[in-house]
Amino acid sequence: MVSRLFCGRIEIDVSNMKYLAHSDYYFSYVSGPHYDDLDKNDKISPWNLLFHIETELSGPHNPDATSKLYPAFYFPVSKTESTVIGFTRFIQMTILPAYHQQSHWNLTIQKDHWYSYLGNTSYCQDVTVKNALTDEPLVEAVFHDVNVDFETRQPSKLPEKWFREISSDQLTRSKPPQGFKQPIRPEKSYSFTTTVTSSCSDSNQHQNMAIYLKNCWDAGSAAACSNQLSQFNTDLAYYNLKQVSFLYQGEVVIGDILQVACWEHPSKSKMLCFAMTKGSEVVGQCQMEFYPNSPSMLKSNHVKAKL
């Protein structure tokens, strides 16, 4: 976690969630697990963890009450209100061992967020997730977003206000993360098909970025359970995730049919690679690395029966 001093502090409670606004560009968000957060291994699933972080990145959900309190985080998507919005290009979440070593049933988590990089048309936001009661770090994440004109879908210059108001010592990155190099997809890689539904879409009318991650997770679990992988033989929920990286390359909307290819990295143990396509267009790439010797998958002899 990065500790700094900021002028001003606001506290508000929204539906049992606590926001601590240290400034317009750095604040914390505290909550417990939500309904349906936990997977079959009683852990907050990776995509639900991403939902928690997204809630923080966008600020509280009452725009009338919070748009003035959190101007840097509240992006109205109506064309009549604003024609510019931040679209995520790349995310990376690093899951620390402590995340897998405690119960998630009543885990109170705190997300500390700050702007860490400002470019011409893009910016980075860093997040640290920790146990709110013990202060123990659990997850580190970085988001690389691009300021995009809502109508033209072209990059747009960042507001000058951000450069004036975000302190220089808060910018902990000299450049945005560059993503990853994806190995060549084997000819016989496992292919998973899914359709974008209305429940998967967000207020921008396209599939929410956390659902992209869920699609890949489902593809990996299906490949493992059908014996298509050499190092994974059951649902991914029973393996301890170490790091996930996702490169967003295209938008998908309700009704789109997606193909998600899954294969094992040829030179990195316990790493899965994914390519998501819509027709001939690649709309996303993902890599997931898992800790070796995940004991949780060995707890039951009836794991597959629970799927």
Domain check: are 3 and 75 in the same one?
yes
Question: Domain range spanning residue 153?
Answer: 1-179
Q: 166: closest CA among 114, 209, 206?
A: 114
Tell which residue, 192, 195, 193, 194, has the closest CA to residue 255: 195
Q: Determine contact, residues 89/154, Cβ cutoff 8 Å.
A: no
* 295 shares a domain with 209: yes
Same domain for 192 and 159 = no
CATH number of domain containing 241: 3.10.129.10
138 and 91, same structural domain?
Answer: yes
**Chain centroid to CA 292:** 23
* The total number of structural domains that make up the chain: 2
195 and 273 share a domain?
A: yes
Q: Does residue 242 share a domain with residue 230?
A: yes
Q: Are residues 164 and 203 in the same domain?
A: no
Q: What's the token pair of residue 294?
A: 């995940």
Kindly state whether residues 166 and 193 are assigned to the same domain: no
Contact 233, 199 (CB under 8 A): no
Distance CA 268, CA 286 (A): 14
Assess whether 38 and 184 both reside in one domain.
no
Query: Among the three residues 179, 196, 215, which one is the final residue of a domain in this structure?
Result: 179
Co-location of 108 and 25 in the same domain: yes
Alpha helices, H only, 187-284: 209-225
Domain finish residue from 179, 203, 230 = 179
- Digits of tens for pLDDT over the chain (307 positions)? 333 333 333 333 334 456 666 677 887 888 877 778 899 999 999 999 998 888 655 543 333 333 333 333 333 333 334 566 778 999 999 999 999 999 998 899 999 989 999 999 999 999 999 999 999 999 999 999 999 887 787 889 999 999 998 988 889 999 999 889 999 999 989 999 999 999 888 776 789 889 999 999 999 999 999 999 999 999 999 999 999 999 999 989 999 999 999 999 999 999 999 999 999 999 999 999 999 977 554 444 344 444 4
Longest dimension (CA), the chain: 59
What pTM was estimated for this model as a whole?
0.82
- The verdict on 175 and 185 lying in the same domain is no
169 and 201 part of one domain? no
